[in-house]
Structures are given as C-alpha cells and as structure tokens.
Amino acid sequence: MTEPSTPALDAIASAGITHRVVRTERASSAEEAAAFQGIETRQLLRTIVVRRDDDDYLFVLVPAGRRFDWPKLRELLGVRRMTLPDADEARSVTGYERYTITPFGSSRAWPVIADAAITAEPVVSIGGGGFGINLHLAPADLIAALDAQVADVSQLEPPPT
C-alpha cells in the first residue's frame, strides 16, 4: 500500500531536491518529535507564519530549542508591526492546518527566512504537510530550494525551571 501524499511531498519530489521522508506517530512535543525521527531537537524546524500586512505573509524557520525573536525580525524586515495569524487565517494563506505548516507545497509561495542557527546542522527536519510526516534534508538544499534568506532571527529558549 502506498503512503498518502501531501502537497509538500509532491512539491519537494517534483523539485528534485535530495531528501528523505520520515513518517512517525504524532508527537506531543518537539523533544518527542525529534526522538521519533532519530535526530537532535535543534535539528527540528518549526515553520512560523507571520503577517506583515494585509495579504502579505512570510514563513520563518526556527529550530526547536530556540525562540523566535520579534525585534530581530522587525529590524531585518524594516517594519514596526507584525502579527501571527490565527489558525484559520494561517490555513487559508498556506493550505495547511496548524502544526503541519511548511513552505513546501504551500498554496502561495510566501518569502522564507531561515534562522542562521540551522546552517551548522548536517541535516534538518521540516514538516511534510501532515501530522507525523517529516522531510529530512541538508540545510543548504532547504535554503536553495525555498530561496530562503538566512538571518539571525532567534535566541536560545531559557531552560525550564
């Protein structure tokens, strides 16, 4: 039986990007997702959709264990105000439900900013457009495929107390 596909899987395959699809059960945390995939937590990328203006969005890729840094992103983009869309709005502008969002196969090709921390990893994991569907690929291939801008837009999350 063939595993079900997603727009992300179709997009990355048709682009000819070297990658590996890793399917797991649905994880309840970043740490669990990384363990299921056999990678370090810092190799797991979260895709965050940010609204700059009406009908103007972008994807920000941030490794797990790091926190998205609003002031750094505002400075990089030269804007004063940005917001996070709610789940329905994010679905309408990407085609994916929350926690499955990925730039690959998105209903619109929004700009991508990849946190500079990913470039030190041999392999990163990004969502494959469905729960438990992950794409493993080299950061350089990810950046090239998405024409991503690489910038320092995160900071380490403080350890839990």
The Cβ of residue 76 has, within 10 Å, a number of other Cβ atoms equal to 15
| Residue 1: predicted pLDDT | 54
Give the residue numbers spanning the domain of 95.
7-154
| pLDDT tens by residue, 138-155 | 999 999 999 999 999 999
CA distances to 15, 24, 64, 138 from 18, in Å: 9, 20, 23, 8
Q: Is residue 161 part of a domain?
A: no
Cα-trace Rg, the chain: 15
Q: Are strands 154-156 and 66-68 parallel, antiparallel or unpaired?
A: antiparallel
- CA dist 60 and 72 (Å) reads 12
Claim: this prediction has a pTM higher than 0.85: yes
Average pLDDT over residues 4-20: 93
Average pLDDT, the chain: 94
Q: How many domains does the chain have?
A: 1
For residue 153, give every residue at least 6 positions away whose Cβ sits within 8 Å of its Cβ, in sequence order, or none: 60, 62, 68, 69, 72, 73, 76, 113, 115, 116
Q: What is the CATH number of the domain that holds 73?
A: 3.90.960.10
Q: Is residue 160 part of a domain?
A: no
